[in-house]
């Protein structure tokens, strides 16, 4: 065997090894939870309270219920259930990083607009047990939806959570759906961030959005920033087009900018959709 052939074999073996490692450990690149325990809800948002969600596979997940301002009548509510003192509750399914503490500013802003909020954390996030997977996150969101007792519900999905909210919308139709910085599917976003890897061939968790969104029977709003380099705006525009959605473009906003957490365009888009849901009865 020539030196060149031996070198080629070594290179091929190294590449196969790297691809194998990526296959095994890929979820560590997808899911970036803040695993630290989260403080009690009321110490972060006055009037908020801690609840526990139970998934179909038996996990107990911590979450926060944030009542609309002014706070509703919380005493005497059944444990682990969201009271129904307001017409429209917003269920927030977060992105792939952080935990519910990082989304407290969003909950405060929505509550100030008269919207109760359920801030959930997935398995493995915010001190919750379990390990995140695509199906696991869906089960977590389903448990959160089952806890809500208000007549009307809007799902708010952030980035990867937009895919979770879309799948939930197919199983348990909401009254409205807001997708913040959605990708068409995880592979498309992954290829942007890892252009040197065969992302689509390697992925186990697919998180489709664009191919599924047309089947959602609820008004859809898509919010995205034109400066987003993590989920490029063209991906979000494609989702909006597939959904026949109202698109809200935030000029210059990047993926993790505060304006896409609790900025006026984002909060206004959710509040406007809630008003539309109320008017439709």
Q: Residue 279: which of 177, 175, 178 has the closest Cα?
A: 175
The two structure tokens encoding residue 51: 């609840």
Residue whose token pair is 């935990």: 99
CA pair distance 160, 133, nearest whole angstrom: 12
Of 90, 52, 50, the residue nearest 68 (C-alpha):
90
Rounded to the nearest 10 degrees, how much is the dihedral formed by the CA atoms of 265, 268, 274, 275? -130
Structure tokens at 96: 């792939």
Cα–Cα distance measured from residue 250 to residue 180, given in angstroms and rounded to the nearest whole number: 11
- Residue 109, pLDDT score: 97
Residue 122, classed as helix, strand or coil, is coil
Check residue 28 and give its pLDDT.
75
Q: Tens-of-pLDDT digits for all 281 residues of the chain?
A: 677 656 655 555 555 545 554 555 556 778 999 988 899 999 999 999 999 999 999 999 999 999 998 644 433 344 444 454 447 999 999 999 999 999 999 999 999 999 999 999 999 999 999 999 999 999 999 999 999 999 999 999 999 999 999 999 999 999 999 999 999 999 999 899 878 777 787 788 899 999 999 999 999 999 999 999 999 999 999 999 999 999 999 999 999 999 999 999 999 999 999 999 998 87
Q: Which residues pair with 178 in a beta bridge?
A: 156, 221
């Amino acid at each position: 065997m020539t030196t060149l052939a031996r070198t080629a074999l070594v290179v091929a073996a190294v590449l196969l090894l790297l691809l194998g490692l990526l296959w095994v450990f890929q979820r560590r690149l997808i899911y970036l939870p803040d695993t630290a325990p989260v403080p009690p809800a009321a110490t972060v948002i006055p009037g908020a309270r801690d609840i526990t969600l139970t998934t179909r596979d038996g996990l107990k997940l911590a979450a926060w219920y944030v009542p609309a301002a002014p706070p509703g009548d919380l005493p005497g509510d059944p444990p682990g259930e969201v009271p129904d003192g307001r017409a429209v509750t917003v269920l927030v399914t977060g992105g792939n990083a952080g935990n519910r503490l990082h989304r407290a500013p969003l909950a405060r802003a929505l509550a100030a607009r008269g919207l109760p909020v359920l801030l959930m954390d997935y398995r493995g996030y915010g001190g919750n047990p379990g390990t995140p997977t695509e199906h696991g996150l869906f089960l977590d969101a389903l448990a959160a939806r089952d806890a809500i007792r208000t007549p009307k519900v809007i799902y708010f999905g952030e980035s990867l959570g937009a895919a979770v909210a879309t799948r939930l919308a197919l199983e348990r139709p909401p009254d409205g759906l807001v997708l913040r910085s959605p990708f068409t599917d995880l592979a498309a976003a992954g290829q942007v961030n890892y252009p040197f890897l065969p992302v689509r061939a390697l992925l186990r968790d697919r998180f489709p959005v664009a191919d599924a969104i047309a089947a959602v029977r609820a008004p859809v709003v898509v919010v995205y920033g034109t400066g987003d380099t993590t989920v490029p705006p063209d991906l979000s525009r494609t989702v909006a087009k597939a959904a026949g959605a109202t698109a809200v473009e935030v000029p210059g906003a990047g993926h993790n900018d505060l304006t896409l957490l609790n900025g006026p365009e984002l909060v206004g888009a959710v509040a406007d959709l809630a008003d539309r849901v109320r008017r439709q009865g």
